[in-house]
């Protein structure tokens, strides 16, 4: 960062030396610098690497060089955006997220994310869940999302406090072994008990407006979701959803493809059905990450989070079939 001011003198960027610890062991130098040099364009970073103005252990390195613990990075003088440029998260939101932590240790935080909060800033948002956690835990050198939830989806989400934990969980998610995620969803219509899965390829599309939508298409990626009926109401069904693959909007699109879109889904459910559900008290996307099972630290960690009170109360007012 820029040197601090002395007696009103103009700040001047200085050479900096950074020693790598276990949190960044094995990380590519370019990815490390993108995070470390906040506010510096990627092109500028690659240019500095190419010119040898960023070195590791006094040697020129390429962007794909992997760092090791105790490596010393020399960074030439460069102007970087000050941390004070970051938006400050309101204390009320930090307190709410603190109250929603269902598990925390030295390497992992699991939070019951509220509906309506994005997981990270961008696309017009000053901050998201990960930025909130970074301001809640300023002493932590490493805070990164393990996976994502859509902004309007609530429920359990993992945030790593160590790179080793992030890598372990990423590998588990990639290999589909060691992490199992289970969701609850309220869908429009009477989901048949015999409908236990949807196996349909999903293709991402971007509309001219920039909006991202997903649809079932033979050219898409293989996608499988398992379903189970939990409770049936008059015109609605509460179901359990287990995404075997992890595609964008997978549960939402597979539910729509089966003929039973999720309540409150403004992308994939009919407007008139959503309007009717709103009058019944369902004012959000009724999709919730309810359970996480993680092989972690040599044992199985099982975490659960209930759906929010407003959704629960609206559902209890529905005529029940069974």
| Residues marked as catalytic | 150
Q: How far, in Å, are 216, 220, 240 from residue 230 at the CA level?
A: 25, 30, 6
DSSP 163-214: HHHHHHHHHHHHHT-SEEEEEEEEEES---TT--EEE--EEEEE-TTS-EEE
DSSP 217-262: -TTSB--EEEEEEEEEBSSEEEEEEEESS--TTHHHHHHHHHT-PB
Q: How far, in Å, are 80, 192, 197, 214 from residue 268 at the CA level?
A: 42, 20, 19, 9
Enter the tokens of residue 222: 């293989």
Contacts of residue 43, defined as CB under 8 A and 6 or more positions apart, other chains included, come to: none
């Amino acid at each position: 960062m820029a040197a601090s001011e002395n007696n009103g003198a103009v700040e001047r960027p200085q050479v900096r030396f950074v020693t790598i610890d276990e949190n960044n062991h094995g990380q590519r130098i370019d990815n490390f610098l993108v995070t470390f040099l906040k506010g510096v364009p990627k092109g500028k970073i690659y240019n500095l690497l190419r010119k040898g103005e960023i070195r590791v252990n006094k040697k020129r390195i390429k962007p794909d060089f992997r760092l090791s613990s105790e490596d010393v990075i020399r960074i030439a003088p460069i102007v970087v955006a000050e941390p004070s440029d970051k938006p400050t998260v309101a204390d009320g939101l930090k307190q709410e997220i603190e109250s929603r932590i269902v598990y925390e240790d030295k390497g992992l935080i699991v939070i019951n994310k509220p509906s309506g909060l994005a997981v990270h800033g961008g696309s017009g948002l000053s901050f998201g869940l990960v930025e909130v956690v970074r301001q809640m835990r300023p002493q932590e050198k490493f805070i990164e999302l393990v996976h994502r939830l859509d902004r309007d989806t609530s429920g359990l989400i993992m945030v790593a406090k160590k790179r080793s934990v992030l890598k372990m969980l990423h590998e588990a998610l990639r290999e589909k072994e060691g992490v199992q995620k289970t969701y609850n969803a309220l869908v429009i219509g009477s989901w048949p008990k015999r409908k236990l899965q949807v196996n349909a390829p999903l293709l991402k599309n971007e509309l001219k407006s920039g909006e991202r939508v997903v649809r079932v298409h033979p050219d898409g990626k293989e996608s499988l979701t398992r379903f189970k009926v939990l409770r049936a109401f008059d015109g609605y069904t509460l179901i359990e959803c287990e995404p075997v693959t992890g595609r964008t909007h997978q549960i939402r699109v597979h539910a729509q493809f089966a003929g039973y879109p999720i309540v409150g889904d403004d992308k994939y459910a009919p407007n008139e059905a959503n309007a009717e559900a709103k009058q019944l008290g369902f004012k959000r996307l009724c999709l919730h990450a309810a359970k996480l099972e993680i092989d972690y630290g040599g044992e199985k960690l099982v975490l659960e989070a209930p759906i929010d009170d407003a959704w629960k109360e609206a559902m209890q007012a529905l005529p029940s079939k069974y």
